[in-house]
Structure 1
Amino acid sequence: MFTPRKIADNYREMINSIGFYPSMLAVVFLLFAVFTMSIEYTEIVKTIKKYLSVVLVDSEENARTILSTLAGSIISLTVFSFSMVMIVLNSASASLSPRVVPGLITRKSHQMVLGFYLGSIIYSIIMLINIKQLDDNTVAIPALGVLFSLIFGLISLALFVYFIHSISKAIQVDNVLNDLFKHTKNVIQQIITRQQQHKIDNFPDFEHWYSIGSSTEGYFKGAHSDKLCAILAEHKIELYIVVNQGFFTVKGYPFLKCNHDLSQDPELLEKLLNCFIFYIEEYISDHYRYGLTQISEIAVKAMSPGINDPGTAVKAIDMLSILLIERLKISDTNYSLKHSDGSPLLYLHETSFDELLHDNFTPIRNYAKTDGYVMTNVLEAFKNILFIAHTNDSATKSLFNYLTAIVDDINEHISNQYDRKEVTNMLKAIVRISPEQGEQLLVRFKHQHENS
């Protein structure tokens, strides 16, 4: 039985497939081939052909040779291009992070190129089978169709050059990081803009709202907010999503709260639950924390013995610091507005700043704790965040709690005096931003080393 949720899941899986756009373009070329054959022998087209005779074929043998060559050549380009895609995905998974693979698969430009190849092949084959003997012993040659096939073949060659250039750039770590950074920052900026346009200071007391359990198990990824808010507005109710995006829920887990008791209205409850999305892949468009996670994992991968690229790790750390600074502008409770009076219908629990620090810097700290260069840059990243967040008491507290863990790791694993001097200088820079807490951190750093 196809429920609305299953239909939505199948639709999402289909549009995120590497074959979606190629399939759509293949259908477009097929329809264009049918259209071409339907007008090929009309009087107006015959008149046009007289003016294009220089570029039109006039013999059966030439037409078959051209079309066969084009179809075979483009098939070779397609095979090579698909092979390149698989190599890139395998390389990205091995050297960067498996989590970046869905983003590379769904890159529309590559899918469009592959779709154009498939469409050109289909078009050439249809033109080829329409070269046939007529009753009066003449041969019907779709000259206009052959011309279009030749044009598509030339365009395919140009697209092949573009494809090789693009696919070679796609695997470069700097380009991957820059794309992740820009995309993640844009998603954060969209949330900031929405909250600034409709600023809300007073939120309801969600503790007294009625809990709603999940009807399925899986990773919670978000909701169809437009459809959900339309239902909420129609029934004049409000919802609060308790869990973070990416949280794994089991059937019956209370991941929602409602300001009305819906236990006696199972039909409405089912309509609401069908608006929520559960799947495995992580797309930045769903939530900015997936972008942060992917950047963090690239940094960890760069520190692995097989790759050993601390420069990439440092660049990823700097990007994380900028994105976390942007995150400070977002309220911990997010919301979607659909009421005519501007009040929210749907409230979302944002991942806290403290959780983001833990989730993204803990893997880096564990893998790089013996590397003085990387750990110094981690301290510098925290110094930069503190420079912006020093007036935010909650964020400052989270930052110094985590800085304590960093200092403890440095004391335990880095004993070289030169590296420790660099760490000391960075801690002194933190003291200049937050004198009292920074001084305590500096004393802790020196005292633990003296005791050891």
Structure 2
Amino acid sequence: MFTPRKVADRYRDLISSIGFYPSLLSILFLVFAFLSISLEFNPHVIELKSSMQFMLLDTPDNARTLLSILIGSTISLTVFSFSMVMIVLNQASSALSPRVIPGLITRKSHQLVLGVYLGSIIYATVMLINIKTGQSVEGDIPSLGILFALLFGLICLALFVYFIHSISKAIQVDNVLNELFQNTLTEIKALYTRQDRQATPDIPDFEQWFTLCSDKAGYFKGVDTKKLCVILKQNEIQLFIAVKQGYFTVEGYPFLKCSKDLSAQEALKNQILNCFVFYIEEFISDHYRYGLTQISEIAVKAMSPGINDPGTAVKAIDMLSILIIERLGLEDINYSYSDSDDADPLLFIHETSLMELMHDNFTPIRHYAKSDAYVMANVLEAFKNIIFVANKKSNELATIYAYLNSIIIDIDTHTDNPFDRQEIADMINAIKKINPKIAQTALSHFEV
């Protein structure tokens, strides 16, 4: 039985598949091929063909030869292009992070190129099977359709050049990092836009609310906010999502808090739970935190012995610092209304806290790079920039200093060279000058 959640899951699997747009375009080309055949011998089309006779083939042998060449050549382009995609995905997984794969697979430009290839093959094949021996231009040769097949072949050649250029850029780490950074930054700014548009409401005491448990196991990735708010408004209830996005829940886990007890309303509970989305892939469009995670994992991968690319790690650290700075002004609780007339929010969403973001993204870096003085010095530089911006936000500043202290402890334990320790000490002193009062109590003493 297909429930709304299962339909939504199937739809998401479909549109995130590498074959979605190629399949769609193949169907469109097939329809266009049948339409071309059906209109080929319309009196108006015949009159049009008579005026452009110099562009049309005059014998069935020439038409059959041309279409055979087009089909064979386009199949070769398709095979090569699909092979290139697989190579790129394999290299991205091994050299960058497996989590960037969904973003590369769903890149629409590559799917559209492959779709045009497949559609051109289908179109030319339909034209080929409609050529019969002994026909001529005055007979039933679909000469106009063959002209379209030739044009599609030329378009495929142009797309092939674009595809080679695009696929060669897709694997470059700088381009991958920049795309992740820009997409993550866009999602953070979108949250600012939503929070600025609404007056900050009074946050209820969620501890007094009733728990609502998950009915399935999986990674919580999102919620259909609009649909859920309509349900909540109709039943005059409020809901709080107590776990952060990406959290793995088992069946029966209490991940929701409800303002009313729904234990006796099984149908309403199912309606609410069907609005929540569980799947494996991590798309930045679901939450900006996934972008931070992917950038962090690229930094960790760059520090592995097989790659040994500290420059990429430093660039990723700098991007993380900018994104953390952008995150500073966000509230820890997001909220949604059914419409602008609602006095109180219907849905409260647990936003990933600053400490959670720093722990999830900088802890792997400081663990795998703790013996690299160059990288750790840049981590301290990144936190100096974060602290400089957060200096007027005392709560956030105390949180940042608390996490920074754990980094300094790791550096102190794993850095022995006197020159490196002096560089680290200079950086720590620069950080302390930003807010000496908090730094004096929050940071451990670091001796050269």
Q: Is contact 1:133-1:140 (8 Å) kept?
A: no
Q: Who is 1:231 aligned against?
A: 231
How far is 1:38 from its partner?
Answer: 1.0
**Structure 1 residues 387 and 144 mapped into 2: Cα distance closer, same or farther (>3 Å)?**
same
Question: C-alpha distance in 1, partners of 2:151/2:93?
Answer: 37
1:187-218 Cα deviation digits (max 9, x unpaired) = 01000110001031411221111111101011
- For 1:380 and 1:199, how far apart are their aligned partners in 2? 36
Map residues 64-75 of structure 1 onto 2, 5 A cutoff: 64-75=64-75
Q: Which amino acid aligns with 1:154?
A: L
Tell me the equivalent position of 1:428. Answer: 429
| CA drift at 1:337 | 2.3
Aligned to 2:385: 384
State the SS of the aligned residue for 2:346. Answer: strand
Shift of 1:153: 0.3
Give the gaps of 5 or more residues in structure 1: none
Which residue in the other structure is 2:414 paired with? 413
Letter in 2 for 1:234: Q
> What is the letter of the counterpart of residue 308 of structure 1?
N
- 1:80-131 residue CA offsets vs partner (Å, 9 max, x unmatched): 0000000000000000000000100000000000000000000000000111
Which residue number in structure 1 is paired with residue 180 of structure 2?
A: 180
Contact map agreement 1:120 1:153 (CA 8 A) in 2: yes
The answer as to 2:146 corresponding to 1:157 is: no
- Flag the 1:172–1:125 CA change in 2: closer, same or farther, 3 A: same
Q: Is the 8 A contact 2:49 2:144 kept in 1?
A: yes
Residue 311 (structure 2) aligns with:
311
1:253 — aligned with what? Answer: 253
Cα deviations by residue, 1:15-50 (Å, 9 ceiling, x for unpaired): 000000000000000110111111100000001101
| Other-structure match for 2:356 | 355
Q: For residues 405 and 136 of structure 1, what CA distance do their matches in structure 2 show?
A: 83
Shift of 1:443: 6.3
Distance 1:423 1:136, change over 3 A: closer
SS state at 2:154 partner: helix
CA distance in 1: counterparts of 2:2 and 2:444, whole angstroms: 63
Quote the residue 2:212 is aligned against: 212
Amino acid at match of 2:396: A
1:124–1:149 contact (8 Å) kept in structure 2: yes
Q: What does the per-residue CA deviation read over 1:147-166, in whole Å, with 9 as the maximum and x for residues that have no partner?
A: 00000000000000000000
Structure 1 contact 339–345 (Cα < 8 Å) conserved: no
1:268 corresponds in structure 2 to 268
Q: Is residue 19–residue 111 contact of structure 1 (8 Å, CA) maintained in 2?
A: yes
Counterpart in 1 of 2:302? 302
Counterpart of 2:412, as a letter, is N
CA distance in 1, matches of 2:264, 2:122: 56
* Residue matched to 1:372: 373
TM score, norm. by length of structure 2:
0.97
Distance, in Å, in 2 between the alignment partners of 1:371 and 1:256 is 42
The answer as to whether partners of 1:370 and 1:414 remain within 8 angstroms in 2 is yes
| Residue 410 of structure 1: how far off its partner (Å) | 1.2
Matches within 5 A, 1:4-153: 4-132=4-132, 139-153=139-153
Deviation at 1:394, TM superposition (A): 2.2
The 8 Å contact of residues 376 and 426 in structure 1, kept in 2 or not, is answered as yes
Q: Deviations along 1:282-301, whole A, 9 cap, x unmatched?
A: 10111111100000000000
- Aligned pairs, how many? 447
How many percent identity over aligned positions?
61
Contact 1:132 1:139 in 2 (8 A): no
Q: Deviation of residue 233 (structure 1)? A: 2.1
Q: Aligned partners of 1:172 and 1:323: how far apart in 2?
A: 21
Divergent runs of 4+, >4 A: 133-139, 439-443
1:234 shift after superposition: 2.2
Counterpart residue type for residue 73 of structure 2: S
Q: Structure 2: where are the runs of 5+ without partners?
A: none
Between stretches 331-340 and 69-78, larger displacement belongs to: 331-340
Please state how far the C-alpha of 1:422 moved relative to its aligned partner. 1.3
